[in-house]
Amino acid sequence: MTSTEPHPPLFVRPLGSVEHNPTALKLILGAKLRELRLRAGLDPAAVDSRLGFSRSKTSRMELGRHGCKAVDAQALLRLYGVHDEQAVEEFLRLAAQSRRQDWWSTYHDVLPEFLAPLVALEGAAAIIRAYEPFYMPGLLQTPAYARAVIESGPARLMPHEVRRRMDLRHERQRQLDQPDAPRLWAVLDESVLLRRVGGPLVMREQLEFLAAMMARSHVTVQIAPLDVTAAVGVGTGVTYLRFALTDLKDAVYIEHLTDSTFSQKPHMVEQYRDMMDRLGACALTPKETLALVRERIAAY
């Protein structure tokens, strides 16, 4: 493509609420820069050298790990043959947005590093699919249940730290109240209903809250009987994020005791998506699940 030919739009659809998610924007801009670089036939080292960047700076920006300053964005777009003023202006505007602080940055003191990728991107997802083998999903926990789960963790927390983590969980839940809220589809191991977290009163309140959330059109909950989860072979919590924007690759978050794995590698994402599909197909239907939840409520 010559400099005199019109450049195709950089972003083919409105980004919507994603524009307010700096982490998601970094990934989108990074993917776009990589696409433009490949189209220009350059490798990252060559770009670093020609623009006087530090080693691997181009790669870090493309991976969304490094914010893109205006001066860097302009230099990259020129190098890649993007001269359309409107396209450049749009890119610079989004680059500035991506350098803002994420809403969750104020909770850096209590947000474990391994949880940050999930918290950063779940609000930008179109669909959140979760499998939980031990506890209610964080997005569906009552304050009392959340407190019991947080206090039972491996770390010894001060009272103010517990409160801060509860506040963070509440802020995450508020995303489900937004007009453009993601669809939440959760599959719970049957043992989650049987495990008395926090005692009978806490569990009854939690189950009543779960039943109320299931009445929302964008929340689907299924219970996987014990023989189902044994057959599928899932041993840990998994969250799968599906994005409406083609510039954002789907992601999986696999939780461990003291850390996690967050990946957007296609082969890993596909493997866990298949697992989630098999679980959903074998689990109780939402209607059957609601009946079982009400049975458990009556038992308290």
For the segment 121-138, what is each residue's pLDDT rounded down to a tens digit?
A: 998 999 999 999 999 999
CA gap 134, 150 in Å, rounded: 13
- Based on the fold, state whether residues 110 and 162 are members of the same structural domain: yes
- Based on the fold, state whether residues 87 and 229 are members of the same structural domain: no
Host domain of residue 35: 16-98
- Based on the fold, state whether residues 258 and 134 are members of the same structural domain: yes
Q: Tell whether the model's pLDDT for residue 69 goes beyond 80.
A: yes
Residue 88: predicted pLDDT: 92
Is residue 185 within 8 Å of residue 127, measured between CB atoms?
yes
In a domain, 9, yes or no: no
In a domain, 6, yes or no: no
**CATH number for position 155:** 3.30.870
What share of the chain in percent tops pLDDT 70?
93
**CATH number for position 88:** 1.10.260.40
- Count how many Cα atoms sit within 13 Å of the Cα of residue 106 in the half-sphere of its side chain: 7
Higher-confidence residue of 51 and 257: namely 51
- Based on the fold, state whether residues 235 and 287 are members of the same structural domain: yes
- Based on the fold, state whether residues 197 and 138 are members of the same structural domain: yes
- Based on the fold, state whether residues 159 and 53 are members of the same structural domain: no
What the block records as the tokens of 138 is: 């964080």
- Based on the fold, state whether residues 169 and 260 are members of the same structural domain: yes
In a domain, 146, yes or no: yes
pLDDT digits (tens, 9 = 90+) for 52-62: 999 999 999 99
Residue 115: predicted pLDDT: 87
CA gap 221, 187 in Å, rounded: 6
Counting the structural domains of the chain, the total is: 2
In a domain, 5, yes or no: no
In a domain, 181, yes or no: yes
Q: Tell whether the model's pLDDT for residue 1 goes beyond 50.
A: no
pLDDT digits (tens, 9 = 90+) for 151-181: 988 778 899 999 999 999 999 999 899 888 9
- Based on the fold, state whether residues 164 and 281 are members of the same structural domain: yes
How many angstroms separate the Cα of 210 from the Cα of each of 13, 134, 272, 298? 35, 15, 25, 14
- Based on the fold, state whether residues 50 and 111 are members of the same structural domain: no
- Domain boundary among the residues 72, 98, 124 is at 98
pTM of the complete model beyond 0.85: yes
- Mean pLDDT across the chain, nearest whole number? 90
pLDDT digits (tens, 9 = 90+) for 89-132: 999 999 999 999 999 999 999 998 888 889 999 989 999 999 99
- Based on the fold, state whether residues 141 and 69 are members of the same structural domain: no
Residue 8: predicted pLDDT: 55
Residue 14: predicted pLDDT: 62
Helices (H), 63-199: 70-79, 85-98, 116-121, 143-151, 159-173, 191-194
- Based on the fold, state whether residues 87 and 115 are members of the same structural domain: no
- Mean pLDDT along residues 217-238: 84
Is residue 240 within 8 Å of residue 276, measured between CB atoms?
yes
SS3 breakdown of the chain: % helix, strand, coil, rounded to 5? 55, 10, 35
Q: Tell whether the model's pLDDT for residue 22 goes beyond 60.
A: yes
Higher-confidence residue of 229 and 86: namely 86
pLDDT band at 236 (very low <50, low <70, confident <90, very high): confident
pLDDT band at 3 (very low <50, low <70, confident <90, very high): very low
- Based on the fold, state whether residues 67 and 193 are members of the same structural domain: no
- Domain boundary among the residues 98, 132, 166 is at 98
In a domain, 10, yes or no: no
